[in-house]
Amino acid sequence: MAEKIETDVNELRRQDQVRRELVANIAHDLVTPLTAIQGFSEALADDVISEPKARHETAQLIGREVQRLRRLVSDMQHMSSLESGWVQLDMEPLDLHSLVDEVLAVMGPECEQAGIALHNEIAPKTPPVLADSDRITQVLLNLLDNARRYTPAGGSITIGARADIGTEGKWLNVWISDTGTGINADDLPYIFDRFFRADRSRAGTSGGSGLGLAIVKAIIKAHGGTIWAESVPGKGTCITFTLPLVQGRARAKGQEASHNAPPRSPLLRPEKI
């Protein structure tokens, strides 16, 4: 009985600490752009910046900070909706090979400019998944953008998939691997937490809301799937998630060999989140 009480107390303390950290992180992400907006607007109002070109550039900076606040608020609303189950998923058979091609076409120019190669290794005959196209597009864009931020010029990002036929149903394992800076082992279990800042995030200016991976996890969870990550600092990161395969569909020729083959990630054994 005493052990149970001690466990409950420790859990309450942990939850209280999480709440305090969450409030602190939200406050930090709100204060930073608000401080910039206040400073720039006061400079304009007091005619400290009088040269027309400089005033125009300052106005653009204010606009960017406002957009940053909008993204933060939008992500917080989206996160709340996903966690409360208010979002209705439009589930339908989805060809991931084609969807990934579309997403890579969007990300392509930015990655090409950064000197990063993109590879779609999902076979054209991969069995369709039952999923919401818009939400999975959001997942892919978030994960690809995250990989792009931490992959140096000359690196690569690869998307692959394989069927996993288990006792709990039929799933497709989808992974996005990069050759970027990687994540420290101590940070790895927490990267899907809201507002969590890993060391590699502190090393640069990502401009994100800190909710991207948490939203990705919530979307995958809403599909009944799971998501996990593996990483080696200095070598790269691989994030894998599962989606349900459309039931009653025969696997394409050659899928059995694909199912028995391990993922092509060169990293360590993944840690499930």
Which residue has better confidence, 216 or 30? 216
> What pLDDT does residue 174 have?
96
pLDDT tens for 115-155 read 999 999 999 989 999 999 988 998 998 899 889 989 999 99
Last residue of a domain, one of 29, 58, 84: 84
Q: Which domain holds residue 210?
A: 91-272
Domain count within the chain: 2
> How much is the pLDDT for 77?
66
CATH number at residue 61: 1.10.287.130
**How far is Cα 116 from Cα 222, in angstroms, rounded to an integer?**
31
Residue 201's pLDDT band (cuts 50, 70, 90): very low
pLDDT tens sequence across 251-270: 433 333 333 333 444 443 33
50: exposed, middle or buried (Cβ count in 10 Å: 0-12, 13-18, 19+): exposed
Place of tokens 């992974």: 175
CB 233 within 8 A of CB 183: yes
Instruction: Give yes or no: residues 62 and 95 share one domain.
Output: no
Report whether 227 contacts 175 (CB < 8 A).
Answer: no
pLDDT class of 238 with cuts at 50, 70, 90: very high
For 241, the token pair is: 């998630």
The highest-confidence range among 22-26, 41-45, 200-204, by mean pLDDT, is 41-45
pLDDT at 245: 93
Same domain for 23 and 124? no
Is the predicted pLDDT of residue 170 greater than 70, yes or no?
yes
Mean pLDDT of 71-81: 69
Higher pLDDT, 18 or 259: 18
Is the domain of 71 the same as that of 104?
Answer: no
Written as six digits, the tokens of 54 are 């400089």
Q: Is the pLDDT of residue 52 over 60?
A: yes
Is the same domain home to 66 and 151?
Answer: no
| Rounded Cα gap, residues 71 and 210, in angstroms | 10
**Whether 206 contacts 199, CB under 8 Å:** no
Domain boundary among the residues 68, 84, 100 is at 84
Residues 6+ apart with CB under 8 A from 40: 58, 61, 62, 65
Average pLDDT, the chain: 78
| Co-location of 47 and 104 in the same domain | no
| Rounded (10°) angle between helices 2-45 and 52-84 | 160
